[in-house]
Structure 1
Amino acid sequence: MSNRSCCICCTICILVFILPMIFVIIFSPSSVKFHVTEFSLTQFNLTNNNNLFFNFRVNITATNPNKNTIVYYRRIQAIAWYKDNDFAYVSLTPFDQGKKNTSFLQTAVFQGSSVFNLKPYQLAEYYAETRAGVYNDLAVDLDMKVRFKYGRLKSNRFDPPIVQCRHLSVPLISNGKSVASFNGTKCRNNYFFVDRYSREQDQWD
Structure 2
Amino acid sequence: MGSGSRAASCLCCPFKCLACGLFSCLCSILVSLLVTAGVLALILYFVFRPQMIAATVDSASLAQFALGTPASPALLQYNLTLAMTVRNPNKRVGLYYDGVEALALFDGQRFGFAPLDPFFQGHQASTEVKPAFGGQQVLEGDVTQANLRSQLAGGAVEVEVKLNARLRVKVWAFKVPGPRARISCPLSLPAPGAAAGAPAFKPTECKVWF
Gaps of 5+ in 2: 1-32
Q: Which residue of 2 aligns with 1:130?
A: 152
1:70 aligns to 2:94 (yes or no): yes
Does structure 2 retain, via aligned residues, the 8 Å contact 1:78–1:92? yes
1 or 2, which has the higher helix percentage? 2
Q: Which residue of 1 aligns with 2:135?
A: 112
The code of the aligned residue for 1:87 comes to F
The code of the aligned residue for 1:61 comes to T
Per-residue CA deviation, residues 69-95 of structure 1 (Å, 9 max, x unaligned), is 111112210001000111111011111
Q: Which residue of 1 aligns with 2:161?
A: 140
The code of the aligned residue for 2:155 comes to G
Partner Cα separation in structure 2 for residue 176 and residue 103 of structure 1 = 34
Q: Which residue of 2 aligns with 1:10?
A: none
1:188 aligns to 2:196 (yes or no): no
Alpha carbons of structure 1 residues 60 and 22: separation in structure 2 relative to 1, 3 Å: same
Does structure 2 retain, via aligned residues, the 8 Å contact 1:133–1:178? no
Partner Cα separation in structure 2 for residue 69 and residue 43 of structure 1 = 40
Give the secondary structure class of the aligned counterpart of 2:153.
Answer: helix
Partner Cα separation in structure 2 for residue 112 and residue 178 of structure 1 = 28
Give the secondary structure class of the aligned counterpart of 1:189.
Answer: strand
Gaps of 5+ in 1: 1-13, 193-205
Give the secondary structure class of the aligned counterpart of 1:123.
Answer: helix
- Which protein has the larger Cα radius of gyration, Structure 1 or Structure 2? 2
Q: Which residue of 2 aligns with 1:35?
A: 56
Does structure 1 retain, via aligned residues, the 8 Å contact 2:97–2:119? yes
Give the secondary structure class of the aligned counterpart of 1:160.
Answer: strand
Q: Which residue of 2 aligns with 1:102?
A: 126
Aligned residues: 169
Give the secondary structure class of the aligned counterpart of 2:90.
Answer: coil
- In the TM superposition, residue 159 of structure 1 has moved relative to its aligned partner by 4.3
Which residue among 41, 44, 59 is the counterpart of 2:65? 44
Quick one: percent identity of the two aligned structures?
A: 25
